[in-house]
């Protein structure tokens, strides 16, 4: 995930919002928890990425910091939900829960986030879709493919909205990535990830926006790292990320237009 001090990017925390299908997207059970999103006060506490123990309660920290955080089966809309938010909440509460109470289906995360984008107009919106990960762990390949196709469609939907809205049009970037890879060297391990799974550390990213060169799939022989994303996103927002710990440089090819 992405380490970035969001208070440098937005002057009102409500302008940043975070939607996640699963609480585990925000906790320390991931092998790369030291790179997790940390915002506001939490960012100050963790300055050192070695202090993983602090990540344990990242969700609580984020919520106490005043950031709007919606994960798993959290309802949206607060005390005055819109008609759409009421319907999303009701359907989510009554929905099939193949992953228990820790993670809702992505369809609810997506429609909740899109409604928030349309009505609250945040400057930064973070969406964590979780189904491809879950279905892969379960070994349900058909569902894994369906989930991936849906996210593709939703990214198009988000982009279409962004480019139709005067506040966002031609000044918004979408940065898409994954918090981990999957086993690839040993093909039987594709369902899993973690430090014991060969090649699961390999991830991908994509970026789109009116200021981002449209250069298609990259075949350049370069080594990039996940910890470069924070500065890349900061630069896309027109600021430079500064902190007391070392910060990896931005990915220049994303910004070169
Ligand atoms: Zn997983």
Neighbours of 182 (CB within 10 A): 21
- Flag whether 226 is in a domain: no
Q: How much distance in Å is there from the Cα of 160 to the middle of ligand 1? A: 29
User: Contact at 8 Å (CB) between 153 and 45?
Assistant: no
Distance CA 179, CA 197 (A): 15
Q: How much distance in Å is there from the Cα of 203 to the middle of ligand 1? A: 13
Distance CA 39, CA 22 (A): 18
- Flag whether 240 is in a domain: no
User: Contact at 8 Å (CB) between 143 and 129?
Assistant: no
From 21, 12, 14, 17, select the one nearest 37 (Cα to Cα): 17
Which residue is associated with the tokens 């925390």? 13
- Flag whether 57 is in a domain: yes
| Window from 90-104, 182-196, 243-257 with minimum mean pLDDT | 243-257
- Flag whether 207 is in a domain: no
User: What number is the average pLDDT over the span 54-75?
Assistant: 62
Q: How much distance in Å is there from the Cα of 210 to the middle of ligand 1? A: 32
User: Would you call 257 helix, strand, or coil by DSSP?
Assistant: coil
- The whole-model pTM stands at 0.82
DSSP letter at 163? T
Q: What domain range is 64 assigned to? A: 6-181
Reported as a pLDDT band with limits 50, 70 and 90, residue 35 is very low
User: Would you call 208 helix, strand, or coil by DSSP?
Assistant: strand
Number of continuous H segments (helices) and E segments (strands) in the chain: 8, 5
98-125 residue pLDDT tens: 999 888 999 999 999 999 999 989 888 8
| Window from 52-61, 150-159, 228-237 with minimum mean pLDDT | 52-61
Q: Is a pLDDT exceeding 50 seen at residue 39?
A: no
Ligand 1 is an ion; its neighbours by CB within 5 Å are 133
* Number of domains observed in the structure of the chain: 1
- Flag whether 84 is in a domain: yes
- Flag whether 80 is in a domain: yes
Distance CA 68, CA 112 (A): 12
Q: How much distance in Å is there from the Cα of 25 to the middle of ligand 1? A: 9
- Flag whether 211 is in a domain: no
Q: How much distance in Å is there from the Cα of 168 to the middle of ligand 1? A: 32
- Flag whether 233 is in a domain: no
Q: Where are the alpha helices (DSSP H) in the chain?
A: 40-46, 58-64, 83-93, 106-120, 131-138, 141-162, 229-236, 252-255
């Amino acid at each position: 995930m992405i380490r970035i001090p969001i208070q440098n990017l937005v002057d009102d925390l409500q302008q940043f919002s975070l939607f996640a299908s699963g609480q585990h997207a925000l906790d320390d059970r991931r092998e790369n928890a030291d790179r997790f999103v940390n915002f506001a006060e939490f960012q100050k506490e963790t300055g050192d990425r070695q202090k993983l123990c602090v990540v344990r309660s990242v969700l609580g920290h984020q919520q106490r910091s005043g950031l709007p955080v919606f994960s798993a089966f959290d309802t949206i809309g607060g005390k005055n939900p819109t008609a759409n938010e009421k319907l999303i909440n009701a359907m989510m509460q009554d929905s099939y829960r193949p992953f228990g109470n820790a993670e809702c289906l992505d369809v609810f995360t997506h429609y909740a986030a899109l409604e928030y984008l349309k009505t609250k107009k945040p400057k930064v919106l973070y969406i964590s879709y979780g189904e491809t990960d879950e279905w892969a762990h379960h070994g349900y390949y058909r569902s894994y493919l369906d989930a991936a196709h849906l996210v593709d469609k939703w990214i198009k939907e988000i982009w279409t909205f962004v480019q139709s809205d005067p506040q966002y049009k031609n000044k918004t970037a979408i940065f898409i990535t994954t918090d981990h890879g999957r086993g690839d060297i040993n093909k039987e391990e594709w369902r899993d990830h973690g430090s014991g799974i060969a090649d699961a550390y390999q991830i991908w990213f994509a970026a789109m926006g009116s200021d981002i060169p449209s250069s298609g799939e990259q075949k350049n022989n370069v080594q990039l790292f996940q910890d470069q994303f924070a500065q890349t996103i900061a630069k896309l927002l027109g600021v430079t990320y500064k902190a007391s710990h070392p910060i990896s440089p931005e990915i220049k090819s994303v910004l070169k237009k």
